[in-house]
Structure 1
Amino acid sequence: MPVPADSVPVKKAKSFPLYRTVAGFVRDPLLQLQRINESADGELVRLGLGASRPYLATHPDHVQQVLRGESENFVRDGVFWRPLNRLMGASILAEGDDWELSKRVLQPVFTTRNVNRLTDLMATAINEAVDRLVAPGGGGRTVDGLPEMSRIVNETVIKVLFGDKISPVESDRLIPAFDQVARSIAFRFLLPFVPRLIPLPGDRAFRAAVKIMDETLFELVDRYRNDPGDGDDIFTVLCGARAAAGSELTDTWVRDNLLAMFATSTETTTLALTWLWPLLNDHPHVATRLYDEIDGVVGTERVRPDHLHRLPYVHQVVQELLRLYPVGWMFPRMATKPTTMGGVPIKPGDAVLISPFLTHRLASVWDRPLEFDPDRFLPENVRGRHRYAYFPFGGGPHQCIGRHVFNVEAQMILTSILSRFRPALARPIPPMPRIGATLRPRTNVELALAPLTGARAS
């Protein structure tokens, strides 16, 4: 329910005008936001960003109001959604009727029961992808962590998205094209108020990559549009809805949802797992405990879904990883009706930015917020915590429907790698990410992979 305007004293949000913050935003936008976050300590603030003056809401009460209590008022619209709307159109990431339709079609794919049917397929894909980390002759390799995590995640997600309906050639076209989109969209994401007619770095690469993805996806849709066959994969479900009697769904609708699911299943998972290696390097006591648990449960076997319920510390590590480096770092919303937040009047058209990255680092909410401590997620430590102190997958009606798939996938990839190798960083990695559509490390995460004696490679 909207908060009545006369129910709380009206006050003005603390303002951070551009003339005070521009130098910090130019040097390091994310660090500047973190400083503002620490200064505000959960109070609603207004950011001066030149052509845009959004509110920044980080207190769990305010997050809950936006994502759940008044979710119908705070919609996924406005200037901050322009880059994503261009890419994913009328998909699960849209709003209103488009979102409701896509969610209704896709929801059955992500029930716990169906995900459990997919986990054996995921495990096979993960183990085969991790096999390729072994150098010729059986030794370890030194790898660039981000592209290697991307390769493992993409090979797994392709199986979940398309089942056996995509060829290796098509997969090899789609994966690098999407990676190019994820990197080239960064400037449009950071400067959404810049008109499309004004060129920005990355625009040309973005258009070229989208062209490749469209050609590949529309060819697939055309091939299976009228006879999608059987399968629990997302592509089959979308094509089945497209082919249903009386359906007015289009090929473009299938394409939009495939891209949306690809985006939310690959880039985000890749980045989260990439951040794991610097964290383990900097916290050897966590790494040792993790190794011991995996060695005791998995040993020299290949990881299977039934291992996961016996790996509680693996689960805690993934949860704490997502606290420090959430899969989506910023959720923009736009108010459609007048309301108040923390006593501050919010008008229709006002943008409100919700950031798991910033809320998860609030000292008033989390003890030692910058410390990597998986024991925060012991059952006794979770009880009593504000529901929206931790929301790496959003919340309310728009909570990510693929969150269970992410958790299973991330835990199996982590376990498969650490049951076979002991990774070591070639050099330290700065803990503050580089801002963009996602949170990427500032330097390459070079990993030396030492194989474990007796680890099963095939």
Structure 2
Amino acid sequence: MSRHDSAALKPSTPAWPPKASGVPLVGALPGLLLERFDFLEAARQRLGDVFTLNLGFTDAIILCHPRHAQRVLVDEASKYRKGGHIWESIRTFLGNGLPVSEGEFWKRQRRMIQPAFHHQRLVALTGKMGEVIDESLAGWEQAARMGAPFNIDEGVSRMTMNVMVRAMFGSGLEAADAERVGHELAYIIDYMLWGMMLQGLPDWVPVPGRARYREAIRFVDAVVSRIIERGRRSPEDESLLSLLLHAVDTESGDRMTPAQLRDEVVSLFVAGYDTTAVGLAWAFHLLTRHPESFRRMRTEVDAVLGERVPGFAELRQLTYTRNVLQESLRLYSPAYWVPRASAEEDAFDGYRIPAGRMVLVFTHLIHHHPDIWEEPRRFDPDRFTPERSEGRHKQAWMPFGAGQRLCIGKEFSLMEGQLILARVAQRYEVSAVAGREAQVHIGTSLRAKEGVWVHLKAREPGAAPSRG
């Protein structure tokens, strides 16, 4: 049997996945830090779709093909758990929220939260999202008038935070709180990767940044606690928080405890804010490097909307705009890996995977696999037309995960991303800043190191055709 066959071999298969190059004590970490994804793509090309990576604190099995994602996250998901240092580090912030919980508890929480993301709820949220986006865009006017370089990474981060706060909590945060929450969340999310490597150390061992991390969590918790309490006093509010406060499990009749509610609110807030902001920053980076794609997107937006704010139904007509977002998430997926721990012995492509091993379904490598994607590093939104998508493996594109653990907020995030791209295209010409090429920063999510810098130029009044 070829090692590229899709079916797993018997668990007694003796072969062990080949190991990527590394150095004593810290393994492949220097290569990752210096070469980033080039290091991993070279390892995949040299070693195949299954290989071992020494991360210093542990060895991880790297899986690079959609068929592996299908097995780990869908077909045999019960064999792969959210255990090990990675998930222990994430739980220090998210507690037992939906992204990290498992088993019957996860099923109960999912049942209670799912109605908040039903189709009709998303339709109702479209108008509120549009209002918040327009309010946030007002803060971009000065940069457009002055012609000064503008960090659109920070711009969309503030915008997505405002959208998430209004959608989840029903009202905005005080400006000072919102600013600090953004800074604290950025620190928390970046620290988690460092925390994964140091998770096994006892509390008495001094760890750089640990005290700062805990202080950041305390601040975010205090803000969330105030907002939840405010939500309890507004029973008629239509926010996501109100739905969670009044959610009752259909099978047990239980409601969430205060601790469970805190974990779910924080988890939804972080997922809805950070992932969307990171993905949009990279989308604008790509559009400024491919101005013909920006012009095509703007032409579509003008034809469908004119100068009007898009509604939910009109988003479905912005097909190229959605394709731009999907292609950006392929090239720069914020969640660039999906970690699991093998609960029992298994095998992939002729290689044995013992129980208790860390397994990383590497989204970035799947999204850049040359057997799946022609010229995988090229920005080509038309990859996602129905004609070119036909026959593609279901897990070839998986920025929101896969299987029953598919991110509950996937459609919310894509809808928000389309709205923001459309409103920016209606208002501005966006171009690259010479000498300020965005660089990848591999943290807990795939941020742009030092931001994404652009020039904004306001479009002439009436440049977009009116549609009534």
Q: Do the aligned residues in 1 keep the contact of 2:151 with 2:453 (CA within 8 Å)? A: yes
Q: 2:65 aligns with which of 46, 59, 68?
A: 59
The superposition leaves residues 89-129 of structure 1 with CA deviations (integer Å, 9 ceiling, x where unpaired) of 11101222332222111101111222111111111111221
| Structure 1, unaligned runs of 5 or more | none
Q: 1:79 aligns with which of 81, 85, 90?
A: 85
Q: 2:297 aligns with which of 290, 307, 311?
A: 290
Matched, 1:411 2:403: no
> Within 2, Cα distance between the matches of 1:430 and 1:139?
21
1:319 positional shift = 0.8
1:288 positional shift = 1.9
The CA RMSD measured in Å over matched residues stands at: 2.8
> Within 2, Cα distance between the matches of 1:374 and 1:191?
40
Matched, 1:269 2:276: yes
TM-score normalised by structure 1 residue count: 0.90
Residue 330 of structure 1 is matched in structure 2 by 337
1:92 alignment partner AA: L
Q: Do the aligned residues in 2 keep the contact of 1:160 with 1:233 (CA within 8 Å)? A: yes
Moved more, 83-92 or 182-191: 182-191
Q: What are the within-5 Å matches in structure 2 for residues 322-361 of structure 1?
A: 322-361=329-368
Matched, 1:38 2:42: no
Matched, 1:316 2:323: yes
1:336 alignment partner AA: A
| Structure 2, unaligned runs of 5 or more | 1-6
Structure 1 residues 54 and 280, CA gap change in structure 2 (3 angstroms): same
> Within 1, Cα distance between the matches of 2:44 and 2:8?
27
Q: Do the aligned residues in 2 keep the contact of 1:60 with 1:386 (CA within 8 Å)? A: yes
> Within 2, Cα distance between the matches of 1:338 and 1:124?
52
Matched, 1:163 2:170: yes
2:62 alignment partner AA: L
Q: Do the aligned residues in 2 keep the contact of 1:302 with 1:416 (CA within 8 Å)? A: yes
1:130 positional shift = 1.4
How high is the sequence identity, in percent, across the aligned residues? Answer: 25
Matched, 1:365 2:372: yes
Q: What are the within-5 Å matches in structure 2 for residues 8-23 of structure 1?
A: 10-16=14-20, 18-19=22-23, 21=28, 23=30
Structure 1 residues 248 and 127, CA gap change in structure 2 (3 angstroms): closer
Q: 1:118 aligns with which of 125, 148, 169?
A: 125
2:265 alignment partner AA: L
Structure 1 residues 6 and 174, CA gap change in structure 2 (3 angstroms): closer
Structure 1 residues 232 and 105, CA gap change in structure 2 (3 angstroms): farther
Residue 6 of structure 1 is matched in structure 2 by 10
Report the number of matched residues.
Answer: 453
1:138 positional shift = 6.2
Q: Do the aligned residues in 2 keep the contact of 1:427 with 1:446 (CA within 8 Å)? A: no
> Within 2, Cα distance between the matches of 1:408 and 1:223?
27
> Within 1, Cα distance between the matches of 2:451 and 2:102?
36
1:24 alignment partner AA: G
1:70 alignment partner AA: E
1:301 positional shift = 2.6
> Within 2, Cα distance between the matches of 1:209 and 1:371?
38
> Within 1, Cα distance between the matches of 2:380 and 2:266?
34
Moved more, 305-314 or 7-16: 7-16
Q: 1:229 aligns with which of 232, 235, 240?
A: 235
Moved more, 256-265 or 229-238: 229-238
Q: Do the aligned residues in 2 keep the contact of 1:139 with 1:451 (CA within 8 Å)? A: no
> Within 1, Cα distance between the matches of 2:438 and 2:389?
25
2:400 alignment partner AA: F
